[in-house]
Amino acid sequence: MPVNKMTAHEVTKKIFNKEELFILDVRNEEAFEDWKIEGENVEYLNIPYFELLDGVEEILDRVPSDKEILVVCAKEGSSLMVAEMLSDEGLTVSVLQGGMKAWSEHLEPVQVGNLKDGGEVYQFVRIGKGCLSYMVISEGEAALIDATRMTDVFLDFATRKQVKITDVFDTHLHADHISGGRKIAEQTGATYWMPSKDAQEVTFSYKALEGGQVVTIGNTAIDIQALYSPGHTPGSTSFVVDGKYFLTGDILFIDSIGRPDLAGKAEDWVGDLRESLYSRYRNLSEELVVLPAHFMKIDELNRDGSVAKKLGALFEKNHGLNVEDEAEFRRIVTENLPAQPNAYQEIRETNMGKVTPEEEKQREMEIGPNRCAVR
């Protein structure tokens, strides 16, 4: 039987739709345990490729014969060889086209809402990495927020929507993935904005982003209002869009809060983090729809694949927003930090413009799960 190639987009739709999926992951155990395709109805079997070189007979009783099997590896080659052996045994088999490398880079656009005067807000879900980017569209113009390095996705989407990208924002200096903001601004002539307190070491020109600034997109006065909200970084800035949507960067997530230690300064920055979450955010409308820059777990996705929830609901249920004692908050935040993101120092230097790694090196730097949150 032939081996089908399933694209990252097709797998993403299965995850969004909560379809059953059986995955045979043939990477080594350490790579699998660190980072895998996740979904509500996903079953896993991890058998390293080198254990299957002599055939798949010994695992036939561990894989289903009545459903499709998706074989996954790092770049596709190993999974294809294993899939062909399973297919020869009469099983229905697919491989993930491009492997986990493609999974890491896939972006799925999801419309998260409309603006008052007819504009739209789109969220780009990087499902394999947990990154979330945004495009705000109004009257033929668009703003991008926290764009990833897969710049063609955003440029092609803007072309399809027949809009001109006029402004590009980074909510902070990212440490877990390489920003595509500056590159997109250079290609489109858009204004590139970043917080000045995060830009002290950058090697390129930018427009300083400060709290209280308002940037208008389109002719219908769709306002993006900057709210200075340090803690994850010294310059972290949130945005209130059209008085309805609240882009929180890496300060507040749906089920957790941002980590303050990615420059080795957890003790210094944790006070800023609490001030932003417990004072600045508390002064805002609880009806604002929170749109974070990352998600941590697959169950944070809504039915349509979006990651969004009202601020009031987060005040009730997000554990990071409900630690009344400041000393206890400091202890929780500084003692419950996951491992540092892969190559985070190199990523920070890339986003400062100090180094420009080759594309394959950039892929390697980003491989792995999102680690921007306090556990």
Higher pLDDT, 223 or 296: 296
Average the pLDDT over 138-151 and give the result. Answer: 95
Provide the sign of the torsion angle of the four alpha carbons 300, 246, 349, 105, taken in this order: positive
pLDDT for res 333 = 84
Higher pLDDT, 367 or 300: 300
* Distance from C-alpha of 374 to C-alpha of 164, rounded to nearest angstrom: 37
pLDDT of 219 higher than 80: no
Q: Say how many C-beta atoms besides its own lie within 10 A of residue 3's C-beta.
A: 19
Annotation marks residue 73 as catalytic = yes
Give the residue among 145, 142, 135, 137 at the shortest CA–CA distance from 118: 137
pLDDT of 231 higher than 80: no
pLDDT band at 224 (very low <50, low <70, confident <90, very high): confident
| Bridge partners (DSSP) listed for residue 169 | 145, 193
pLDDT of 269 higher than 90: no
* Distance from C-alpha of 249 to C-alpha of 233, rounded to nearest angstrom: 10
pLDDT for res 234 = 85
Q: Which of 21, 37, 73, 289 is catalytic?
A: 73
Q: How far is CA 359 from CA 178, 362, 365, 369, in A?
A: 11, 5, 10, 19
Structure pTM?
A: 0.94
